Amino acid sequence: MPISLAGKPIVITGAGSGIGRAAALACAGAGMPVVLTGRRREPLEAAAREIEAVGGRAAALAGDVTDRVHCGAAVALCVERFGSIYAVFANAGYGVECAAHEMSDADMRAIFETNFFGTLNVLRPALPVMRAAGRGHLLVCSSCLALLPLPYYGAYCATKAAQHHVSRAMGVELRGSGVWVSSVHPVGTRTEFFDTADRRSPKRAGLMRVGASDRFLQPPERVAKAVVRCLRRPRPEVWTSHAARLAFEFAAMFPGATDAALGWMVERRRRAAERGERGGA
């Protein structure tokens, strides 16, 4: 039997845009009170108003997931405002396009602080409340790239793999406690990810964008629906494309061939970018 989500509160990080915002609206639509957190106050409050306008319950709290005090405050707000906390969707994160050997220690540590340690910062204060209640669900937004190290996105892929492995390990460690743990693996999604990566990255070839068609990107609402389905019927992993999962698992079985294909892709897109720059000069 599916779990009824009505009245079960959730905290969502990175909820001001993209997957996080779509998940907040979808969870609210399923009857869940939602605490939205993120770095920008205005979009959080706008999403909260949208939820309340259709009869849902929501609260917004601006802050950064690298701040453990903020994450603890988000969990405390959820308990105070809605009486408990049933779920967390750790979604905040960003990408950077840069060769791993050229990335500074500071930049490498920064992406891990947000993507990986930011995840732990929000899961840890929520878990004792859930265990005391004997029920709960921790969801972590990893990526399809947790299984495929993409050139020039090695740091991002490493954080996503770390999220995935820790989530799977926690799921076994918490078995029997009533608390589920799930890793969520979106494929390319229409969000601010690419714009943010462009702003944070040195001038590169735009490997994640050149030659890519928007029609191959999934809408964030598809990921949000998958999150709600997982909350209703918990499972260890959530993939928004079974074909992508099979492809990435196949690629992991043949690393030599995969690396050759990725090298060809990088060179092809670099040349396309150079042609575009010459054409615009």
Print the SS3 string covering 87-106.
Answer: EEEECCCCCCCCCHHHCCHH
- Give the single-character DSSP code of 190: S
Catalytic annotation, pick one of 86, 152, 153, 156: 156
- 236 in Cβ contact with 142 (< 8 Å): no
Q: How far from the centroid of its chain's Cα atoms is residue 158's Cα?
A: 14
- Give the CA count within 13 Å in the CB-facing half-sphere of 196: 13
- What are the start-end ranges of the E strands in the chain? 10-12, 34-38, 58-62, 87-90, 136-141, 179-185, 237-239
- 21 in Cβ contact with 220 (< 8 Å): yes
Alpha carbon distance 173, 131 (integer Å): 12
Alpha carbon distance 47, 53 (integer Å): 10
Helix axes 154-173, 105-112, angle to 10 degrees: 40
Q: How far from the centroid of its chain's Cα atoms is residue 66's Cα?
A: 15
Alpha carbon distance 3, 262 (integer Å): 42
Examine the residue annotation and report whether 153 is marked as an active-site residue of this protein.
no
- 49 in Cβ contact with 34 (< 8 Å): no
**Encoding tokens for residue 227?**
């999150």
Active-site residue list: 156
